[in-house]
Amino acid sequence: VRTRARLMNTIHPTALIGKDVQLGGGNDIGPGCVIEDGVVLGSRNKLWMNVYLGPGTTIGDGNQLHMGAVIGHLPQDLAFSGGASSTKIGHRNIIREYVTIHRGTKEGSATVVGDDNFLMANAHLGHNCRVGNRTILTNLATLAGYCEVDDGAVISGMVVVHQFCRIGCLAMISGLSAVIKDVPPYMLCAGRPAVIHGLNVVGLRRAGFAAPVREEIKRAYKLLYREGLSVPHALEAISRECKSPQLQELIGFVKNSSRGISAGLPAAQAAQAGIGSADEEDEETLLSRKPKNFL
């Protein structure tokens, strides 16, 4: 074990520390913890009992890892061939009981978590996920492989997110939802499958967005989800009418979405009523269209 600071580490006698582990100072490592070979652990981290840190794991400073957390174990991916991959955790994260964060699948790849996140009990981050800063994953929230969660997003309890999906900044996903497409920034999303119900108004206020910016976001939401415009035409209108930098975040997110973005609530209601979708040659729209024989 190599220590990089003068602060004393407290390590319980039953903890197992592997070879070439690098420790900062002021860490408190509880009973039954296992730190595998080559792990890098920063300073002032608290590891409750029975925490597991797998090979290739790097953890910053001031994190709390509660009982039974598993960080950097093998990915649950049949494509995994045993190559060296990693897990990278930033600073000041709270990782509660039995959270699982798996390392990357492909050799040299990583699962990455930023700073100041709150991962509640039994949350799961699959291989190659990327989580930003100040996010909240509530109990049993589950991210499949290659998901991305941007800054300030909230994923409520028992939500499942399909692989390769992205959750935009300050978006909020309601409990028990099943997310199968990208959720744009600032939106409130719910359902199975999850659809957009409106704006995360409370989240925008708590994030300190000024009233004029919130009004522009509200206008952008209406253009994208309530005016019946195709996605390209909605983005053109948003670019023309909304000039705040926060709207560039929304526009860039939608343009770069590879899975497509979540539909609005009227589209879900139309699907339940058996109303057909737009013709294949038409541009994508997030609102349902009337069938040709509709009176």
**pLDDT averaged over 10-residue windows placed end to end, the chain, 295 residues:** 80 98 98 98 98 98 98 97 97 98 98 99 98 98 98 98 98 98 98 96 96 97 95 97 96 97 72 39 48 37
End-to-end Cα spacing for the chain:
76
| In contact, 104 and 123? CB cutoff 8 Å | no
Among 120, 124, 96, 101, CA closest to 112: 101
> Which pLDDT value is given to residue 2?
73
Distance CA 291, CA 295 (A): 9
> Which pLDDT value is given to residue 3?
73
Report residue 108 as tokens: 């040299």
Among 80, 84, 76, CA closest to 100: 76
> Which pLDDT value is given to residue 286?
67
The structure's pTM equals 0.90
Classify strands 64-65 and 118-119 as parallel, antiparallel or unpaired: unpaired
> Which pLDDT value is given to residue 1?
76
| In contact, 231 and 286? CB cutoff 8 Å | yes
> Which pLDDT value is given to residue 274?
42
Report residue 92 as tokens: 């000041």
> Which pLDDT value is given to residue 275?
33
> Which pLDDT value is given to residue 266?
63
Report residue 118 as tokens: 């709150």
